[in-house]
Amino acid sequence: MKFKFKCLSPFEEQAMPNFMGDANMYAPTVIKCFESIDEAVKHVAEHDGFIIDNDNNFAYRVKSIELLK
Question: pLDDT tens for residues 40-65?
Answer: 999 999 999 999 988 888 888 999 99
In whole angstroms, what is the distance from residue 14 CA to residue 32 CA?
26
* pLDDT above 60 for 21: no
Q: pTM value?
A: 0.73
Summary mean pLDDT of the chain = 82
pLDDT at 27: 72
Report the distance separating Cα 39 and Cα 3, nearest Å: 11
Comparison of pLDDT for 27 and 4, the residue scoring more: 4
Confidence grade of residue 38 (pLDDT, cut at 50, 70, 90): very high
